[in-house]
């Protein structure tokens, strides 16, 4: 399960967090709105502080790092 969250973070969460132009420059984030793709993540984290088996794992680092970067680049976003 941990591997699936790491892949999800890189494949699905990245384009939600960072809208890039064709040169790879970050222009914006989709987290200013409430993307429906985050519904499952929100639901899981409402029940547990950690994504896999109730314990801290690489899945939490993979997902959490994207959220942290959004807050660094776009501090006005209230994630």
Q: What is the pLDDT at residue 77?
A: 86
| Residue 3 pLDDT level (bands cut at 50, 70, 90) | very high
Are 5 and 66 spatial neighbours (Cβ–Cβ below 8 Å)?
A: no
Band (37; pLDDT cuts 50, 70, 90): confident
Mean pLDDT value across residues 53-77: 94
- What is the predicted pLDDT for the residue at 9? 97
* Cβ(72)–Cβ(18) below 8 Å: no
**Average pLDDT for the chain:** 93
The whole model's pTM is what?
0.86
């Amino acid at each position: 399960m941990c591997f699936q969250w790491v892949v999800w973070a890189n494949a699905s969460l990245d384009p939600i967090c960072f809208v890039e132009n064709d040169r790879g420059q970050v222009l914006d984030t989709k987290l200013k709105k409430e993307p429906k793709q985050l519904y499952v993540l929100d639901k899981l984290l409402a029940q547990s502080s950690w994504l896999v088996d109730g314990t801290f794992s690489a899945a939490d680092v993979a997902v959490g790092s994207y959220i942290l970067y959004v807050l660094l680049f776009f501090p006005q976003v209230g994630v």
